[in-house]
Structure 1
Amino acid sequence: MMGLFVYYPIVENFRFSFYDFSAFSPDKAFVGFTNFINLFHDPVFYTALKNNVWYAVISIICQVFGGLILAAILEDPITRFISSFFRTVFFLPVVISVTVIALLFTFVYEPNMGILNSFLHGLGLDSWAREWLGDSETAIFAVIAVSQWQSIGYIMMLFIVAIQAIPREIYEAAEMDGAGKIRRFISVTVPQVKEMFFVASLITLTGAFTVFNEPYILTGGGPGNASEVLGTLLYSSAFAKDQMGYASAIATVILILTLLLSLVQKKLFRTGKDD
């Protein structure tokens, strides 16, 4: 099953990246590395790659570190009596359709009557209000914000599971040694959830470099190419421009990038090895 539905398509996509062909024709012209050369000379590719890097950096900060902090707060004995309610609140966006969320945030970002600009006007911050999805400087960050809002609850739940598996005796021993909440979080919680931190980082980074739904639905990669990511660039190349070989080259680059990031993370975290 893995060979048929995972490895075979990967090999075939890699082979297709060396051809120039149309989805509507069986003829394929072998062009060697031309697709990759054209890709690396395309300024839109570097715009998309930069946006994916922004996606990755912000997602690591907000989803992984933010999710860990939220999980630690909700698993604290003081807040545990209300943690069930807030776990549901934070996790609820995860199960909502991306299309529904995109439509929701279209109203939030609407420049004239949107919730965000209305809120800023109400605070007297008129100079901060703008066309969030129509401004080339803010479009990609507005799209990234939607992803953080939707996904942080999932990462938080992963960390909650990891924190619940930590023996309470360790916390009690640290408390007897005079460690405060922050010191217990740094010295006990963080080292004990290292394996889950690796999993969460891997999921987040892979998602950041393969993201498609949010930017496509909210902006379509616009205005211009300001919010283009590798996923939308691949889609437009394949289905709008009918450059299937070029799109296969983009897919190959995405595969290589995510694979390299996974290997680097595994090396840095030394997951599965005793310290």
Structure 2
Amino acid sequence: MADMTQGAGARPRKPGLLRKLWRVRHAYFFLLPIFAVLATFKYGPLVVAVQKSFFDWNGANVDRFVGFANYAKALHDESFRRSIGHALALTAGALAETLTLPLLAAALVFHVKRKRLAEWARVLFIVPLIVPTLVVIKIWTWVYASRNGILNGLLELVGLEGWTHAWLGESGTSLWALLFYNFPWIGGIYFLIYLAGLLNIPAELFESGSLDGMSVWQRFRYLELPLIRGQLRLVALLVVIGQLQNFELPLVLTGGGPGESSLTPALYLYDRAFTYNEMGYASALGMLLFAGILLVTQALQKLFKSGETPG
């Protein structure tokens, strides 16, 4: 009798992880092509890059093991260190841009009372996403052109001929040209991320704020901003990763020049690999860049978590 009572009161054992996976094994068959593509085009090259970073390798007939010589060379490479400084400057500027103006635009659209007008405003900000990035970059080469460029033309129109420059051809302005690319930096995915966060805030909180007599600024500062902290963190991480990997923009606009005034680590890596055939050295640069991005993103995660109030 006691055994029956004990057996009746015992909780059923939960199935293990392997048993759960076996029950839904047919669903995972559909993921096999995805895993195969990832292994072939993502993880495979990563493993090869790690291996070849220890070799003097030109991608063809030269393949000699050199140990940590490539890493030692990278740490003493003045061009690589200069490119890191440029990337950090662009990252700081991009963070200042994307954490302010797109957020302000999303907040303004969110508070538009007329539904039809708000929908049209969203469309106007989303439409630029349709245009390929390379096309936008090529348009900005026209904006910055020294002759018949839009920016120089506007300066001449308002009587500021002395402020005109060959924006992409001068070492003092090329990095600034990359920083102010796509001004005013509003249209795009960051605007959508902020707007989605604002739309997910429960309406009851806004009603409570109105009853408490909150002003528009107080509601934004003490209600909306804390509740979209996750979106702010996501945007910051995306910006940091994107800027430290910045490649297409300096390649098309300046080519890293004049000289090395706008060189970025990713562009320098590309030059060493495909211009000078230093594939092994480029692999070591890629590993250092990967480690740097990982450390920076982890520090950024801790920074956001330290700013969160517990409970």
TM-score by length of 2: 0.82
Counterpart mapping for 1:88-107 below 5 A:
88-107=123-142
Question: What's 1:203 paired with?
Answer: 238
Distance 1:161 1:48 in 2: 35
Residues of 2 paired with 1:5 and 1:172: CA distance? 51
Q: Does 1:191 align with 2:217?
A: no
Q: Find 1:170's aligned residue among 188, 205, 220.
A: 205
Q: Does 1:60 align with 2:95?
A: yes
**1 CA distance for matches of 2:92 and 2:115?**
31
1: distance between equivalents of 2:280 and 2:288?
13
SS of 2:188's equivalent in the other structure is: helix
- The answer as to 2:261 corresponding to 1:243 is no
CA distance in 2, matches of 1:61, 1:75: 21
Change (3 A) 1:51 1:79: farther
Query: What is the deviation of 1:273?
Result: 9.7
State whether residues 98 and 185 of structure 2, in contact with CA within 8 Å, keep that contact through their aligned partners in structure 1. no
Match of 1:21 in 2: 57
Contact 1:73/1:79, CA 8 A, preserved across alignment = no
Whether the 8 Å CA contact 2:101–2:186 is kept in 1: the answer is no
In 1: Cα distance, 2:86 partner to 2:152 partner:
24
1:16-59 Cα shifts (integer Å, max 9, x gaps) = 1111111122x421112211221121221122111111221111
CA distance in structure 1 between the partners assigned to 2:155 and 2:96 by the alignment: 25
Q: Report the counterpart of residue 127 of structure 1 in structure 2.
A: 162
1:262 aligns with 2:262: no
Quick one: distance in 1 between partners of 2:229 and 2:246? Answer: 25
C-alpha distance in structure 2 between counterparts of 1:232 and 1:119, whole Å: 31
CA distance in 1, matches of 2:184, 2:288: 28
Amino acid at match of 2:104: I
Aligned position for 2:122: 87
Report if the CA contact (8 A) 1:215-1:232 is conserved: yes
> What is the Cα-based RMSD across aligned positions, in Å?
2.1
Contact kept in structure 1, 2:112 and 2:118, CA below 8 Å = no
User: Percent identical across equivalent pairs?
Assistant: 28
Among 44, 47, 63, the alignment partner of 1:11 is 47
Residue type at the aligned position of 1:157: L
Letter in 2 for 1:46: R
2:175 corresponding residue in structure 1: 140
Distance 1:76 1:209 in 2: 34
Unmatched tracts of structure 2, length 5 or more:
1-34
Q: Matches of 1:60 and 1:126 in 2, distance apart? A: 31
Structure with max Cα Rg: 2
Instruction: Work out the CA distance in 1 between the residues paired with 2:204 and 2:289.
Output: 44
Q: Structure 2: how far apart are the matches of 1:207 and 1:134? A: 24
2:69 counterpart letter in structure 1: T
Residue in structure 2 matched with residue 71 of structure 1 by the alignment: 106
User: One-letter code of the match for 2:181?
Assistant: V
Q: Are positions 1:109 and 2:139 aligned together?
A: no
The normalised TM-score by structure 1 is: 0.92
Mean Cα displacement is larger for which, 1-10 or 224-233? 1-10
Deviations 1:168-188 (A, max 9, x none): 111221222222111111111
Q: Does 1:212 align with 2:234?
A: no
Structure 1 residue 86: Cα displacement: 2.7
> Alignment partner of 1:29: what SS?
strand
Mark the CA change 1:33 to 1:80 in structure 2 (over 3 Å): closer, same or farther.
farther
Q: Number of residues paired by the alignment?
A: 274
The equivalent residue for 1:157 is 192
> Using the alignment, how far apart are the partners of 1:40 and 1:107 within structure 2?
37
Paired amino acid for 1:235: Y
